[in-house]
Chain A
């Protein structure tokens, strides 16, 4: 627990005296990087946060989007990286729990979870495999028990995550606009702590997460209890229905210190609380432990005298423990008492607002060296290469993972995991699509274009389900921000996201920053994650079954952009080259046109062409539909490329469309009229996936053989490895 000398000095100046030890601990927790965003806050201001659907209010922990007919969707994203790297089961599970409570805080019911997971090389690294298996189990056990479907996500393996784990969880909520918590408080209101009891778990968790991962600090990891969380959700929603909640906040990083100071600051009030009233699971806890414990499944609720009895009876109905710990005042101070003796008294505005930093940044030297790499030699047998690519853990099917998640509960999941985005039906007859994407390999080579690519990919995935993007969240994960080169990559990413969001008019409705993602082996690659929400006001775009004679159309140009591709990294062990870039104007045109085509009902399947390139995109279509396909590579609209480059380049702004032969003319003339590069490059039939150049066969792989590789590789690694 520490403050820098400058921060201590600032604090003393602000409060006009030396803080006592408890006050010091409270401020240190709240001013940790994790809670205060002191390195990043200044830079995050540039992100566009307004939009016609965005509803903002004081103290919202999640983004709120109006989806019409009196309904709203809420969204939030968080990570639990440090804890998951030490104790993957509990770390990942409590990661789910935390973000779910942010959704609940707005007064909406959580309806979906997505997770982005990153580990070391699981083919070679036993420890990475252990982290992977247990993180999955943690997410499954927690989400399944809550009855909130895990509908999507993404998984990446890279050596830069050795001895580490990135566990990002995004959650979606849904509710009536009129039920949103307005977050207000008046003098005399009651402050109620609802949910799990407070113990010594997760002590100093936010500080632990604000430093390089050195020692295995297990006591900083929180303990999950999904059953209590489920009861808290139901109790809170019933309390919401009965209008018992004036303001609400979940207890996450920084525990009570953070929840009390931020609530008081956001609402412009003062709060006093008595720690002797907090329900605890351990004896003799110190005031400082109670103030910074990150015990899970706790919510802070502000209610008034009129509703206090109802709130208590709701908690009793669900047998959710609670304690009335304090009152609201007008004086804007947070006052911590123990048996009526004041132990700490600080202006909440000071506690909740750490002095912000201006960290230096400088373009990393490694970047220019990575641009110039020698092209690898094209393998002689590209069929073999394709099979190897399909068994690459980064590309192989993740069904072993998502079948462990209940992705159906709630009966909203219209487009299910395993495809592009997931799509959920809403009560107003519309459909919400969601997808998260990240790519540390691209972002390492080119932080700006890498994150724009992730953004573009997430949008394309959402479009493939027939939805128009309406909002986004970002999760910015980097190493130590005190390193100017790392900080440069952070700033570059924020600027890039801002540029794309502004151009596409997609507001940023939430996000999170996670820094100090480092081990003794060094920092992680820059790993921003982008989540995009889309709304489909028409028919749901459920992929149809491919039939013999159906045609394959590619939209977009394939370019010499293999830097950071799975082909370079996995097949050739090569890091570097030119990573894919996005021309926003062209990309927007392509996205709009594909969405229009989908709504004309002429597209049987729309599939994003990204990781692994065209060959992998086509393979997935064939494998899932158990049909062969013959692709004429000379027809692919492309720069001058070698065959391996054509097959595996990860150029963005491309879609694969499957259409019926009868719709060919309509689709082609539509794309021509719009001036969008496209070509009809293949047809589906037979039992082989064949890429040929004029009459010469480039690759020929049996679909069943490809299916076996793609479906079973990951599971085989985990269960037999």
Chain B
């Protein structure tokens, strides 16, 4: 099973994600430079965190227009699981694969801390191993992490069960406390918190089990585990 981790100029969580996928969950993961073609036999795609193009203009907006995103869109339409983390989420939103926008945190500061999120949709390829309302201790690190959408969009997100994660505490002023959403089909998931920083007990000050279920869900989706 092959997972592509797409690397843009300025991505900086690509190697962390690659480590967790390969060394912790034993997936065949491959770093793919943004100008290279996506390998054909890809089973899942991850857009990692970082500062693609130095966050110039707006976080994620330049990467969203890079050619590789066209391939990602095609794969997404075919139902292949796509996960965007932090800057990856920003890119998914900027490219139109997910609705809404990510604005500056209400504190106006970059914020690196540990928090908890709650699983609100356990039917996606990245959450199918969770119980509904299960809590995940997880790391966040972003400056533009406040999810925003207009009322009509929020209404349709709720109606279509597209809200995947919400924060357990008020943290950055996000609409409905949203930490992660998915597309209507459910195969494209974007989230601000960092599962790759939270799935190993040695670096997770609380409990790494729940965050590792995000990766185990993917393993299960790909048929690697039951």
Which residues of chain A have a CB within 8 Å of any CB of chain B? Answer: 140-141, 144-147, 225-227, 230-231, 317-319, 402-414, 416, 425, 540, 542
Contact = CB atoms under 8 A, between A and B. Distances in A.
B72 to A, nearest CB: 20
Contacts of B194: 408
A410 B196 CA distance: 10
Contacts, number: 83
Contacts of B13: 147, 409
B113 interface: yes
Contact of B202 (A403, A404, A540): A540
A413 B203 contact: yes
A147 B53 contact: no
B200 interface: yes
Given A230-B10, A319-B9, A409-B13, A145 B51 contact: yes
Given A141-B110, A230-B12, A405-B110, 8 more contacts: A145-B10, A147-B13, A227-B51, A402-B112, A405-B112, A409-B141, A411-B16, A542-B202
Contacts of A416: 205
A408 B112 contact: yes
Interface string B1-25: 0000000011011011001100000
A425 B19 CA distance: 14
Contacts of B78: none
A122 B54 CA distance: 32
A147 B12 contact: yes
A411 B211 CA distance: 14
Interface string B182-214: 000000000000101100101101000000000
A147 B200 contact: no
A408 B51 contact: no
Nearest to B112: A406
Contacts of B19: 411
Contact of B112 (A147, A317, A403, A414): A403
Interface string B37-49: 0000000000001
Contacts of A408: 112, 139, 141, 194, 197, 203
A433 B168 CA distance: 33
B115 to A, nearest CB: 11
Interface residues of B, number: 32
A577 B51 CA distance: 50
Interface of B: 9-10, 12-13, 15-16, 19-20, 33, 35, 49-51, 53-56, 109-113, 139, 141, 143, 194, 196-197, 200, 202-203, 205
B141 to A, nearest CB: 5
A86 to B, nearest CB: 24
B202 to A, nearest CB: 6
Nearest to A425: B202
Residue from the set B55, B56, B196 with the largest chain A CB neighbour count within 10 Å: B55
Given A145-B55, A147-B50, A227-B53, A407 B202 contact: no
Listed from nearest, the 10 A-B pairs whose CB atoms lie closest are: A147-B12, A227-B54, A145-B51, A406-B141, A411-B16, A406-B112, A404-B110, A408-B197, A408-B139, A404-B109
Given A403-B112, A406-B141, A407-B112, A227 B16 contact: no
Contacts of B141: 144, 406, 408-409
B51 A231 contact: no
Given A404-B112, A405-B112, A406-B141, A411 B9 contact: no
Nearest to B49: A409
Contacts of B9: 227, 230-231, 318-319
Interface-central residue, B16, B49, B53, by most chain A CB under 10 Å: B16
14 contacts: A140-B110, A141-B110, A144-B110, A145-B10, A145-B12, A147-B51, A226-B54, A227-B53, A231-B10, A403-B112, A405-B112, A406-B141, A407-B112, A408-B139
A721 to B, nearest CB: 16
A411 B197 contact: yes
Between B54, B56, B143, the greatest number of chain A beta carbons within 10 A of the residue's beta carbon is seen for B54
A410 B200 CA distance: 13
Nearest to A400: B109
| Most chain B Cβ neighbours within 10 Å, of A141, A145, A414, A542 | A145
A414 B139 contact: no
B202 A144 contact: no
Contacts of A144: 51, 110, 141, 143
B217 to A, nearest CB: 20
